[in-house]
Each structure stands twice: as C-alpha cells, then as structure tokens.
A and B are shown apart, each in its own frame.
Chain A
Amino acid sequence: MTGHDIKYDTGPDTGPDAGPNAVHDAGHDAGHHAVPVRTNMLVWAALMVLTAITVSVTSFDFGFLNVVVALTVATTKAGLVILWFMHLRYEGRVIRLMVFTAFFILAIAIGFTFFDVAYR
C-alpha cells in the first residue's frame, strides 16, 4: 500500500511535483488570502485605541457599569483579533461555524452559571 493512492480523496495535489499551478492551488484550496499590511496596521491601531479607552475609563466610577464597559471593550478587541489576526474573516464556512459554536457554548456556560449565582 502506498500513500499515493489516497491523494485523490483530498482535493488538488499540492505536492512538490504538482506543476506550475501548485502555488495557486495551495492558496486557493486553503482559502489563503494575504491580509494587506495596511489592514493589519489599522486593526493594531484600533486595538491600541480600545486599550487606551479601557484604561482611561477606570478613572470614572460608573459602579457596576465599569465591569460591563471593560468586558464590552475586551470582547470588541477579541473580535478584532479573531476576525483579522486569526483570519476568521477569510476562512470557509466549516471553521467559522465551529468557532461560533464553541463561543456560543462558552456563553451558555457563563450565562447559566449566573442564573444560578445571581438568584441564590
């Protein structure tokens, strides 16, 4: 049995002997889009601004709202990192659905725990 027999099950051949289209196919197959430098810089700048906001907002006392603001800013930052730095924007449906499901389940875990804790 050789490894050659199974390669047809898994999409375009991107091995060393795949010919001149290999690079293109590899890129196409895996959904690789090089994110422009400018985009990465803008995401970084947005993350810096949000960090400045979350630090400066602590000098005001909104009571309970401070935690809400801190978590909202953190979640916005997390979204930027996941969508652009982790390339989720550029991934196919399968990975996007997986990531959504995982965070949805985490939200259920946290939410349901608070139904318990908050009404004890």
Chain B
Amino acid sequence: MHEHRDYEGAKIGMWLFLFTEVLLFGGLFLLYAVYLHRYPAEFHAAGKDLSRIFGTANTIVLISSSLCMALAISALQRGKVLLSQRLVLLTVAMAGVFLVNKFFEWSAKIGHGIYPNSPGLLALPPGEMVFFNLYYLMTGLHGIHVIIGGAVLLYGWRLMRAGRVTPEHFVFLENGGLYWHLVDLVWIYLFPLFYLVV
C-alpha cells in the first residue's frame, strides 16, 4: 500500500496545536500577571516559601532534556538510529526525574498544610492564597503536559524500534519533540515567576 505523506502539513498542524497550548498557558500567565500587579508584597512573601533549589534543579533537568531531544532528531537525520533511540530514552528519563522532584516538592508543601482549600491556605492573606492556588494550577497543568510529552516520546521510541520512524520518515518524532520543547518553554516562564518572584 502506498502511504501518503506530507511533512510540511504535518508540522503546520502540530504548530497550530501548539498555538492552542500557548493560548491556554498564556491565559493563565495573564491571570498571574494581573494578580501580581494587585498583590506584589503577598506574591513576594509566598514566593519565598517555594524551594529555589528544587525549582533550579528542575530547570536544569528540563533544559537538558530539551537538548537531548534536539540531539536525538539530529542523530536520526544523520542515520544514527540507535543513538537517537538512546537519546529519546534519556529525554524520557529526565521527564521522570522532573516529576519525582515535583512529587517531593508538592509533598513538602502539602505536608506544611498548603494545598488548595486547606485550612492553612484559607488562613493566609488573599494575595498569598491566590499565589498558591495559581502555583498548584499552573505547575499541575504543566506536570500533566510533562507526563503526556514523556508518553508521546516513549511511543516515538517504540515506533523507531519497530522501524516506523526512520531517518527518512521521522515527522512523528519531530512533532513529539516540538511538543516536548513547548513543555520546556512553559517552564522557562513558570520558574522565574513562581520561584524567583521578587
């Protein structure tokens, strides 16, 4: 059977989907910006409660995973299939590290009684309450994207193993990579806004 392929169309479709993601997170960033404008002192106080170490570590992990993904695509384009497979697995492993870090970070916050609708949170000033609610909403939504991105890349790895993603036809992996870089992109803004807010 002859399979119809259209790389340009596939990539344009992926970008269109990514724009909807940009608008989804963009709306939330807008919400963040307006509340930061209204409660600068409270955001400053609440931001100090987040672990800068965890935030920075996760930034390094995610940026490095993006590098691995970019290298995986380059390797595949040069015909180095095995290297590409390993780099994709490394990317997925880093997604795992990110999520484990996130788990510990959230656990610590929840252990201190700070989680949506908790008595401890409701006792805080309104500005700090908004900050932590946005923190859980936005890092949570981002975390879901990390899980989906990792799953998509793992599927891409399987397709490579099955010979269905090859140095000639790799648009699935390329689009999966685009999604992964978008996840990185969102974190690039989340990190300074929540962990470094001054």
Binding site for B on A (CB under 8 A): 3-4, 6-7, 10-11, 14-17, 22-23, 26-27, 29-32, 34-37, 40-41, 43-44, 47-48, 51, 54-55, 58, 61, 66-67, 70-71, 73-74, 77-78, 81-82, 84-87, 91-92, 94-95, 98-99, 102-103, 106, 109-110, 113-114, 117-118
A34-B78, A70-B193 known; A47+B5 contact, CB < 8 A: no
Looking at the assembled complex, report how far the CB atom of A68 sits from the nearest CB atom of chain B, in whole angstroms.
Answer: 11
* Binding site secondary structure of chain A: helix
Residue of A61, A71, A85 ringed by the most chain B CB atoms within 10 A: A85
- Would B167 and A113 count as touching, CB distance under 8 A? no
0/1 string, B186-198, CB within 8 A of A gives 1: 0011011100111
- Would A30 and B11 count as touching, CB distance under 8 A? yes
**Cβ-neighbour of A4 out of B2, B63, B73 (below 8 A):** B2
Q: Total interface residues on B, using CB and 8 Å? A: 57
A36 / chain B contacts, CB cutoff of 8 Å: 74
A81 / chain B contacts, CB cutoff of 8 Å: 66, 181, 184-185, 188
Q: Which of B18-26, B121-129, B154-162 contacts A (4 or more CB under 8 A)?
A: B18-26
- Would A98 and B15 count as touching, CB distance under 8 A? yes
B5 / chain A contacts, CB cutoff of 8 Å: 14-15
Across the interface, name the chain B residue whose C-beta is closest to A30. B7
Q: Give complex CA distance A113, B198 in Å.
A: 22
A16 / chain B contacts, CB cutoff of 8 Å: 2-3
